[in-house]
Every structure is written in structure tokens, then in C-alpha cells.
Amino acid sequence: MRLSVTLGCLLLLLVDVPVQARDLTHTTVPRDYRVRGTTPHDLVNYMRAYPFAGDNGPTVANIRPKYDLRVDTRQRDGMCHVQSVRLNIRFTMTLPRAVNHSRFDRNTVRAWQSFRAFLKRHETHHRTLYLACANRLLRDLRRLPPDRY
């Protein structure tokens, strides 16, 4: 997928992108990484023994983007002009979900909720970075002049 997005972006470098053509949409789909245990010690041991397979190795949380880049072009005066560019990013956010949450004591509940909230903030920050990069890409594409093909 990354190769096709990269190739699509390289093709866009050859053409004009009008200002009104920018269109960035995104969705976030939650996914559970199911964790077993009833005490903080049990939960940590489980996550160490059975980590989630992240993009860059074992982890406990992750956000993965999937890109759908659509470009409509037209030919005019021997030049290639972009009619519209649409980029949709579908994020899959994986966070740990305690299977035995109903059996937690009060302190474990508070610790688990705090841990999950931290991870969600962290992964949401990654999503913000992805979206900022996508917006910069679309902005830069609008500034390119048309090109002959």
C-alpha cells in the first residue's frame, strides 16, 4: 500500500492541483487487544508474554493508517491538469481491553483506566501527526505548476 501511495504522490508532482481540489477525510476504527488478568501484575505479565504485533515490533497499542488517494486529471493544451484530489485515511486504533475487568479491585480499575487513557492520548497524537502531514502534502501539491507529458 505504501508503494502505491508513494507512486501516486510522485505522479501528482507532475501536474497542477487547483486550490479547490483539496479534500481530506478520515475515520478511526477501534480494535481491541484483549488482555487477561485481574491484578496489575497479571496484566503486565500477560502483555509482556503476549504483546500486540505492531508495525515496528511488539507493543501494547497501535494506530495504523490506510490511504485511499483518488486523482482526477484532464488534458488541456498539451498539459496535464488535476481536476480533483481526494485523500481518505482510515485509521485502525488498537488499544488494550481487559477481558476480566469486572473482577478488578478498585485500585486496579483506576490504574487500568489511567493506563488506557494514556495510550489513547498517545495514539491520538500519532493520528494528529499523520493528518498534519497529509494536509501539508495536499497544500504542496496545490502549489505545483502543470506539466507536459
Q: What are 12-34's pLDDT values in tens digits?
A: 443 444 434 358 999 999 999 99
Q: What are 77-130's pLDDT values in tens digits?
A: 888 887 778 899 999 999 999 999 999 999 999 999 999 999 999 999 999 999
Instruction: Quote the pTM value.
Output: 0.78
* 15 and 147 Cβ atoms separated by less than 8 Å: yes
CA torsion sign for 34, 52, 89, 71 is: negative
DSSP characters for the chain? -HHHHHHHHHHHTTSB--GGG--EEEEEEEEEEEE--SSHHHHHHHHHHS-EEETTEEES-EEEEEEEEEEEEEEETTEEEEEEEEEEEEEEEEEEEETTGGG--HHHHHHHHHHHHHHHHHHHHHHHHHHHHHHHHHHHHHTPPPEE-
Spatial separation of the C-alpha atoms in residues 15 and 148, rounded to whole Å: 8
Spatial separation of the C-alpha atoms in residues 53 and 43, rounded to whole Å: 17
**Amino acid 70: pLDDT:** 85
Which backbone phi and psi does 36 adopt, to 5 degrees? -105, 145
